[in-house]
Chain A
Amino acid sequence: MNFPKVKTKPLDSLPSLPDQVASGQVSYEDHMAESKRVQRKADIYLMIGGFFMGTLVLGIIGFPIFFYGLTILRRAGREGLSVRPLMVTLIGFLVFIDAALNSFGWALDLVANHTLINRTITVAWGNFFDAGYFWHYNQLWIGGSGAPGEKSWEIACVLVVFPMRMAAAIAFLQLKRWGHQWLIVTCWFGVVIWVGYVANMTIYADLRYTNIGFPVIAWWIYDIFYITPFLAIPYLHTVNREIFSD
């Protein structure tokens, strides 16, 4: 069956904006002003979408808003406007959202461990995926997870790594050199976190996986998508650094 084809814009027949700038039809200032306007418009949608996606439960609302922002950027790039590269946008927002989601759960356990929502959702999560959040919960003087080592990871990550990573992601999205450099630093931190965390869970596997909903495999299915900083590392080391400036 032949479905009718979606008509695309006749891009090849129209001169792109840089051509128009070169031929003097459009001034360089106009080109830059238009690029800035479109970039700002896209960023508003991306930020609203990113905000919702960082809240966990409202993520599905943020997803289409975020993708609309991406579409504006892609279209602008195709029309020859000087906008941020798609990969920089994707990595910047994904790393930010990843850090926000991680901070959200761990901050609940660290400082809001006696709230009803935490003692219901986090403890249920613990009973289902990882008993580090079920076993002797709220027994340590600081409250929250009592699994050996878990609190140390929370303090190191929520107070140091994730804020650093979020700040770096914002500067990376602004195409600043320090954003690129610090994103490399904090994404390698991500490797340290994963190796240390998985080793800790494996060493204390008896208490973390005894009689929980779906041991080990469910934890991997749930958590594997948090490898996003790993995906950023090859890009950060192979991108042409001249696109970032001070």
Chain B
Amino acid sequence: MSKTEAEVDPANQQEVLPEGTTAYFKRLHTWLRRAIYVCLFALVVEGTLFVPFLVVWYGWPTLSMHQICDELQKVMYSDDTRTCKFPYPLLGPAEAADEKTSQDTWGVQPKPHYPRLGFRELVTIHDQRVARESQAAR
């Protein structure tokens, strides 16, 4: 690896350093280069994987993206009647501007009361509500 960065010139046996790197900082620059490779790789991998990971965690493909949005809002605002309006009017007011249903312990450090959502738990919540609604309709 260091061969390319700091080659030894066979003619005068003098080390040829990359442009901009002085002998004193050669080792620092080598370690920085390695750390940069790690960060670059990690950023790309996590950037690519986190979207599919999240949509699967929250119920896709059993639930559509719109249904996931719907279910997340029901949990967020503790309101089973809440729906994710889509498409939303371009210059409309913030969709939750007037909501009064979300549960918190208010204070200088607000503490939310919504439950933790586990792996694909939105699917279960969705199915149970659909079952409840169809039972009530009968």
Contact = CB atoms under 8 A, between A and B. Distances in A.
B4 A222 contact: no
Interface stretch (A36-44, A111-119, A155-163): A111-119
A240 B22 contact: yes
A168 to B, nearest CB: 17
A238 B92 CA distance: 52
Interface in B86-126: 86-88, 92-97, 99, 102, 104, 109-112, 114-117
Interface string A32-75: 00000000000000000000010011111011000000000010
Contacts of B25: 238-239
Nearest to B86: A116
Contacts of A124: 54-55, 57-58, 68, 72
Given A53-B47, A85-B18, A228-B36, A238 B94 contact: no
B35 A231 contact: yes
Secondary structure class of chain A's binding surface, majority of residues: helix
B39 A225 contact: yes
B20 A87 contact: yes
Given A85-B18, A238-B28, A228 B39 contact: yes
27 contacts: A53-B43, A58-B48, A59-B48, A87-B32, A90-B33, A90-B37, A101-B47, A114-B88, A116-B66, A116-B69, A119-B72, A120-B58, A120-B66, A120-B72, A124-B54, A124-B55, A128-B54, A131-B112, A136-B96, A139-B99, A141-B93, A207-B110, A212-B116, A222-B46, A234-B28, A238-B28, A240-B22
Interface of A: 12, 53, 56-60, 62-63, 74, 77-78, 85-88, 90-91, 94, 97-98, 101, 114-117, 119-121, 123-125, 127-128, 131, 134-143, 204, 206-207, 210-213, 222, 225-228, 231, 234-235, 238-240, 243
